[in-house]
Amino acid sequence: MPETERAAGGVLYRAGTAEVCLVHRPRYDDWSLPKGKLTSGESPLLGALREVEEETGTPGVPQLRLPDVDYVLPGGRPKNVAYWLMLAGEGGPVQDADEVDELVWLPLAEARERLTYAGERDVLDHVAGLPPVTSVIAMVRHAHAGERKKWNGRDALRPIDPEGAKQAERIAATLTFFRPRRLVSAPPLRCTQTLEPLAAALGNQPVILDGAFAEPADPAGLPAKLSAARSRIAQLRPDGRVVICSQGKVMPSLLASLAGRDDPEPFKTRKGDGWLLTWSGERLLGASRL
């Protein structure tokens, strides 16, 4: 079977309205959500953000992973398109004028009627059923920091290694689009260093240390640590957009608890990876892998 072609795009909406952005592509003479192929090694989220800005001139603030659309191209090759709900930032000129010759902002019902493809109409139907997004928290696991057994100093002072530095730069490249209002980190050096490139990209935004997101010294202390972390997240949610850097022995159980799940296994997170946690009021709408 041919390799799946992967693409990504977004449902870009204006704050305070139910209007979403559609683009007209003269090459296909169709109306679609802004989207495009991923480049080599590009994550679906970063590709979606890039394509949306190129095709609309408007940067998107990612909020929630939406259902994918799968179909088969005329030559028989399967294609997958990952979509994200995005809040529209300040708009500018369309960057890819050869690809897009017209852009419209329409209420959801009108946009649904204008769309050419049934799969994208299904995506808009999903968006229409969502309550308003009130807060989004990005939670990342610290970047790679070598092996604990090979570090001779205090573990809290173990730094990220060259691989971890690359991961931290990738985190910054993605979460700069998120426009966080606050950066919070567990105290270990490898956690704060993971957020340093993002902090620099945001104009040297301060990184606030918070022990609620650190691993407990004794595994028996995990339940108390989870309770403290949940309480702290509830306090941070009113800020709207927050990035938290935590640790691997805390995140799976914390994420499962927030999602109302008993099994932490699906929430295991590799170093340098993370999640977007999306709320409407007190309700968690979704946990989306970055």
CB contact at 8 A, 7 and 82: yes
Nearest to 182 by CA among 202, 211, 212: 202
For the chain, residues classed under CATH 3.90.79.10 are: 5-128
Q: What angle do CA 221, 227, 232 make, to 5 degrees?
A: 125
pLDDT of amino acid 98: 80
CB contact at 8 A, 282 and 274: no
User: What dotted CATH number matches 5-128?
Assistant: 3.90.79.10
Q: Give me the architecture of the 135-289 domain, per CATH.
A: 3-Layer(aba) Sandwich (3.40)
For the chain, residues classed under CATH 3.40.50.1240 are: 135-289
pLDDT of amino acid 91: 75
Residue type, 52: V
With left for phi above 0 and alpha for psi between -120 and 50, is residue 63 left, alpha or beta? Answer: alpha
Nearest to 32 by CA among 120, 94, 102, 97: 120
Q: Which residues of 261-285 are buried (b: 16+ CB within 10 A; e: fewer)?
A: eeeeeebebebbbbbbbbbeeeeeb
pLDDT of amino acid 94: 74
Q: What is the rounded CA–CA span in Å between residue 220 and residue 205?
A: 35
pLDDT tens sequence for the chain (290 residues): 789 999 999 999 999 888 999 999 999 999 999 999 999 999 999 999 999 999 999 999 999 999 999 999 988 899 999 999 999 998 777 777 788 999 999 999 999 999 999 999 999 999 999 999 999 999 999 999 987 777 777 878 899 999 999 999 999 999 999 999 999 999 999 999 999 999 999 999 999 999 999 999 888 889 999 999 999 999 999 988 999 999 999 999 999 999 999 999 999 999 999 999 999 999 999 999 99
Residue with structure tokens 């800020």?
A: 239
